[in-house]
Amino acid sequence: MALTQANSILVTAFPSIDTELYTYIESILDENKNEFESSDHIYEAIGEMLHEVAGGSKDENEIKDICSQLLRALKSESCGEEKCKGNKILSAPVCLGSLAENFENEAEEVTSIWLKQRESASFVDQRKLEKAEARLKSKQEKRDNNEKPASGGAIINKEATAVQASSKKESRMELKGSNKSMDIKIENFDIAFGDKTLLTGADLTLVYGRRYGMVGRNGIGKSTLLRMISSGQLKISSHISVLHVEQEVVGDDTTALDSVLECDEKRQNLILEEKKLLQLMNSNGPVAPDDSQLNGRLQEIYIELQQIEADKAPARASVILAGLGFSPEMQRKATKEFSGGWRMRIALARALFSKPDLLLLDEPTNMLDMKAIIWLENYLQTWESTILVVSHDRRFLDTVATDILHFHSQHIEAYRGNYENFVKTMTEKLKHQQREYEAQQQYKAHVQEFIDKFRYNAKRASLVQSKIKMLDK
């Protein structure tokens, strides 16, 4: 394929672009060039991929400018094609006056390159359109009325709900504050989404320090379970901190590094209080507090900051961001300059920096490249508290998980070991079940053969009847 103007723009802007990715972007532009109406449409289609290719060397405005150049190039090419297709050759002289007269007087359409062609597309009849919309509206109202319960009936909830059996002993311990266990045990709970039941009488036990990988088919309710835990609808001990990485950080003027540091609220509050006290001590106003009291409080703040190793926090945050693919320059950029995928990485970095007692991750590898995935696997292997992660990445679960939770048939089954051990155990379990089923079927066939043989034998009538009852059970 000859190198077009759009291809030249891509090669010039991204000289080190991967060949396969370049071919893929080229095919998207070629197949949809007539559908793109603005540069925003092109940015929505390939903007994320261009950010990945740029690797942080170009900001959002520069990528959008490249998309504008691509739009102009595609439009100029499509216009050139239309002009080529529209060329016609005259086979006879043309009398414009007679053509114009015929065009005005005759009802039938005149075909000529000199006359503006009538639109071949049919016009919409407004009356028919209004009638059709009215019919659709009435159908929708009937459907809504049918979905509404009868008077006094239960209202169907369109959101996920959870019901959990409570333990009086644990409730008393919670009220007294004597429950110091870091293990999490949620017993006999149900989860439903609207009128669809996701879990019934399920039990979930998470031992502190273990890393749990949850598996199950798509749409079965794994992500909903994480939200039920993080939102507090499934109750756990109040002294256990929970953090669910679900949404990207808000794009503003805060740098990526500061965004990660700000999630440590205790450190931030101590630093703010320190600045306020120093300002008061430097103040010479008549209502300035006693310096001895301020000095005492400052000493307490410095001791607390030393205990939480506040001076090491920037370095630790920078290491986490670097592991997730942020260069030193990118760490100093404002969060509003990053795409959604990179802001999701910042949200993950904030969670890793916070070190909650229970970390909930939902498909964390979807937003990461291979290098960042390998770093995350190694980092999580040294994680000291509890992790519950939903993932379809088998390699990630093999490396990170110490236990597997199998979500199926409205229940949760726990297996020790990583994903590879889970697959082996499940395979053996299914083989055992198949052998039991085949043996059962073979025994049934043997009993049925006995019944058929002696069904009309009076001496064995009672025995036959007992065999028939046994089969019915």
Six-digit token pair at 258? 């500061």
Q: Which pLDDT belongs to residue 237?
A: 86
Residue 92 lies in a domain: no
Rg of the Cα atoms in the chain = 35
Q: How far is CA 246 from the centre of its chain?
A: 7
Band the pLDDT of 442: cuts 50, 70, 90: confident
- Whether 153 shows a pLDDT value over 60: the answer reads no
Residue 197, SS3?
Answer: strand
Residue 213 and residue 296 share a domain: no
Residue 102 lies in a domain: no
Residue 432 and residue 413 share a domain: no
Q: Does the predicted model carry a pTM greater than 0.75?
A: no
**Residues 6 or more apart from 385 whose CB is under 8 A from it?**
182, 208, 209, 355, 356, 357, 358, 359
Residue 157 lies in a domain: no
Residue 119 lies in a domain: no
Residue 331 and residue 267 share a domain: yes
Residue 348 and residue 258 share a domain: yes
- Whether 21 shows a pLDDT value over 50: the answer reads yes
Residue 263 lies in a domain: yes
Residue 393 and residue 436 share a domain: no
Band the pLDDT of 178: cuts 50, 70, 90: low
Q: Which pLDDT belongs to residue 108?
A: 47
Residue 162 lies in a domain: no
Q: What is the mean pLDDT of residues 389-407?
A: 93
Residue 192 and residue 279 share a domain: no
Residue with more model confidence, 148 or 182: 182
Q: What is the mean pLDDT of residues 167-180?
A: 70
Q: Which pLDDT belongs to residue 105?
A: 52
Final residue in a domain of this structure, among 41, 74, 107: 74
Contact 64, 44 (CB under 8 A): no
Six-digit token pair at 200? 């019934």
Long-range contacts of 281-285 (CB under 8 A, 24+ apart): none
Residue 264 lies in a domain: yes
- Give CA–CA dist 453/438, Å, rounded: 23
Band the pLDDT of 147: cuts 50, 70, 90: low
Q: How many domains does the chain have?
A: 4
Residue 254 and residue 235 share a domain: no
Residue 428 and residue 408 share a domain: no
Residue range 289-333, pLDDT digits in tens = 556 777 788 888 888 888 888 888 889 999 999 999 999 999 999
Q: What is the mean pLDDT of residues 235-242?
A: 88
Residue with more model confidence, 387 or 447: 387
Contact 398, 418 (CB under 8 A): yes
Q: What is the domain extent for residue 9?
A: 1-74
Band the pLDDT of 287: cuts 50, 70, 90: very low
Which of 314, 327, 336 has the alpha carbon at shortest distance from 254? Answer: 336
Residue 410 and residue 275 share a domain: no
Q: What is the mean pLDDT of residues 262-278?
A: 84
Six-digit token pair at 329? 């320059």
**Residues 6 or more apart from 269 whose CB is under 8 A from it?**
none
Final residue in a domain of this structure, among 21, 45, 74: 74
Six-digit token pair at 34? 């007539």
Start-end of H helices in 120-218: 126-147, 168-176
Residue 346 lies in a domain: yes
Residue 309 and residue 263 share a domain: yes
Residue with more model confidence, 350 or 310: 350
Residue 351 and residue 255 share a domain: yes
- Whether 152 shows a pLDDT value over 50: the answer reads no
- Whether 11 shows a pLDDT value over 90: the answer reads no
